[in-house]
Amino acid sequence: MKEHGFTLIEVLIVLFIMSILSVLSWQALDHVDRAKQRLDQNQSHISSIQAVLQQLEYDIQHHANLSLYVNKGVALPFTASTPLELHGLHWEQGETASTLFILHAVDHHWQWVQWTFKENVLYRDEAPAGAELPLPIAKPNFVAMQHIDQFQIKAWVPARGWQNPPLATQGQRRASGVEIQLQLQEKEQTVTYRKVVLLP
């Protein structure tokens, strides 16, 4: 029985089919790669937000008491809303920037930790620790997160609910919690991330 090889047309058809399969395979791989990149970017974005919220939670939970300043009659680096503002937390709302001041105790020294929101950028800075008052404060320098639309703090006061800053002693009622809000634009939508931190 005589065997015949492939004709030119058959070879061209096979090559055409293989080229189509190659293009489809490349498109599928490209689609998978793009999907992976989007997933990685989204995961990185979420991880950044979580890191910022966790650091804020840590800073707030480890705040010291402002009575250190009040008892010694030393001027604070901001204007306290009441003479008895004993929380080691203070929210300063300015015209161009907002700053959360947090007093920390570090090995028998104290230092100010500052979260500053300015021009859609959130900064976290630690001033040098010291044992003598007044303590220095830092200027916004270290970028914690960019592209933020809003950074806001609220305090939970028992029997009064959520109160807008500054975080001050309200009569005899002391705030027992703080809510952190980060507002961002994601996929043309406004998304607000919230975290509630209990005060010690």
pLDDT digits (tens, 9 = 90+) for 83-120: 434 567 888 888 888 999 888 988 888 899 999 999 99
Range of lowest pLDDT (4-13, 15-24, 46-55, 180-189): 4-13
Per-residue pLDDT, averaged over 3-21, amounts to 76
Examine residue 131 and state whether it is found in any structural domain, yes or no. yes
The β-bridge partners of 131 are none
Examine residue 1 and state whether it is found in any structural domain, yes or no. no
Examine residue 14 and state whether it is found in any structural domain, yes or no. no
Q: What total of structural domains would you count in the chain?
A: 1
Task: Name the pTM for this structure.
Answer: 0.75
> Where in 35-188 does DSSP place strands (E)?
89-93, 97-106, 109-118, 121-126, 143-146, 150-157, 161-163, 177-186
Examine residue 3 and state whether it is found in any structural domain, yes or no. no
**Tens digit of each residue's pLDDT (9 = 90 or more) over 28-78:** 777 777 777 776 677 788 899 999 999 999 999 998 887 777 777 777 777
- The radius of gyration computed from the CA coordinates of the chain, to the nearest angstrom, equals 28
Give the residue numbers spanning the domain of 60.
47-198
Examine residue 140 and state whether it is found in any structural domain, yes or no. yes
146 Cβ neighbours under 8 A, 6+ residues apart? 120, 121, 122
* Residue 108 token pair: 């028998």
Amino acid identity at 53: L
Examine residue 23 and state whether it is found in any structural domain, yes or no. no
Examine residue 137 and state whether it is found in any structural domain, yes or no. yes
Examine residue 26 and state whether it is found in any structural domain, yes or no. no
